[in-house]
Amino acid sequence: MYDVIIIGAGPAGASAAIYTARGNLRTLVIDKAPNTGALAITHKIANYPGVTGEMTGRQLLDTMREQATGFGAEFIQTTITAMDVEGETKFVFTADGMFEAKSIVIATGSKGRNRMLPGEENLLGRGVSTCATCDGAFFEGKTVAVIGDSEEALEEAQALSKFAQKIYFVVSRPELQGVHHMPELVNTEMFYKAKPLEVLGESQVDGLRIRKSSGSEEVLHVDGVFVFLSGSKPGTDFLEGQVPLDAEGFMILDSSMQSSVAGVFGAGEVRRTPVKQAVVAAADGAIAAMAVDKFINKRAQLIPQYK
């Protein structure tokens, strides 16, 4: 019997494990693919507090996981087949057997679109990104493309305009969805009713092939491609019918990362956050862990870890 099972070993899950294990709670972390999350495939980290010099996302995650292991957390790699969280004891069924716990933290992040552009997956973290606030500074004075048709894509393009010398904004629709007033975009060339076809490059992005509204194809010579296409959603499908989710699949949580199901918590991109950043996910994990401690030990309030 574990005190807590944490599902997901990204920044939210690893951070939660550090706090729960250090708080003397018997902790198990389950992740089916620990090296394929958004942070794990990030080629370079430059804005995580305390990280200076060259470090990849995977190196940062490895450090966090080693820290959690040092406090006694256990990590296993397996696939979850079913869960039962209704009762006082939570049951997690996996390909390697059943595990029991008094509480659960869901930190499974978000999952991408079912279909990616040719070349996109191979160049993730090497010029392809889904977060301008994370990676925009790496493209200072360079040329980039933004692919998307939503307000999110517009906001990311605005963030990129602080760094990039030139932006090609590729929109598949006649206009951006949910945008009632189109602001003036600096150094940006718009391609409406255009279809992205392929991200070009070997070890780094060097172009984006598109089909323009006229039907002709063109290669945009760019150093980076920022993709904000619809389809990315929280990885919470396995919770359907057990934990309250909103219409888009996000967990419904309070400010302490607790769901309405006793002993079930969430952290990171499984909840609605104003921005998707590793540091935000890690903070969520820490809060969820202290909420687990409160739940397990029947405390009146959250107890911070100072030492």
Q: 104-131 pLDDT, tens per residue?
A: 999 998 876 657 899 998 998 899 988 7
Q: What is the pLDDT of residue 151?
A: 77
pLDDT in tens, 145-200: 999 988 778 888 988 999 999 999 999 999 887 777 888 888 999 999 999 999 99
Both tokens of residue 243? 């934990």
Kindly report, residue by residue over 21-32, the tens digit of the pLDDT: 999 999 999 998
Confidence label for 231 from pLDDT (cuts 50, 70 and 90): low
| Averaged pLDDT for residues 220-240 | 85
What's the whole-number mean pLDDT along residues 91-109?
Answer: 95
Q: What DSSP letter does each residue of 189-223 carry, written as one string? A: EEETT-EEEEEEESSSEEEEEEE-TTS-EEEE--S
Q: Which residue has the higher pLDDT, 285 or 33?
A: 285
CA-to-CA dists, residue 267 to 10, 73, 99, 237, angstroms: 10, 18, 21, 15
Amino acid 250: pLDDT: 92
* Cα distance between residue 10 and residue 61, in whole Å: 7
The per-residue pLDDT for 179 is: 78
Local confidence band at 13 (pLDDT 50, 70, 90 cut-offs) = very high
Q: What is the mean pLDDT of the chain?
A: 91
Give residues with Cβ within 8 angstroms of 288, minimum separation 6. 12, 16, 105, 107, 256, 257, 265, 266, 267
Burial of 260 per CB tally in 10 Å (0-12, 13-18, 19+): exposed
Maximum Cα interatomic distance, the chain, rounded to a whole number of Å: 65
Indicate whether 42 pLDDT > 80.
no
Q: How confident is the model at residue 296, as a pLDDT?
A: 97
What order do you get walking across the sheet with 205-211 strand by strand? 195-201, 205-211, 217-220
The pLDDT of residue 146 is 96
What distance in Å separates the CA atoms of residue 226 and residue 133, rounded to the nearest whole number? 11
Tokens found for residue 50: 């305390």
Q: For the chain, what percent of residues have pLDDT higher than 70?
A: 96
Q: Coil, strand, or helix at residue 31?
A: coil
Residues 222, 238: Cα–Cα separation, whole Å? 39
What pLDDT score was predicted for residue 238?
85
Domains for the chain: give ranges and CATH numbers. Answer: 2-111+232-296 (3.50.50.60), 121-228 (3.50.50.60)
Positive or negative, the CA dihedral 147, 153, 154, 156 is negative
Residue-wise pLDDT tens digits, 124-160: 889 998 878 778 889 999 999 999 988 778 888 988 9
Q: Is the pLDDT of residue 225 over 90?
A: yes
3-class SS shares of the chain: helix, strand, coil, % to 5 = 25, 30, 50
Among 112, 106, 127, 95, which residue's Cα sits nearest to residue 36?
112
**How many other β-carbons are positioned within 10 Å of the β-carbon of residue 131?**
18
Confidence (pLDDT) at 39: 80
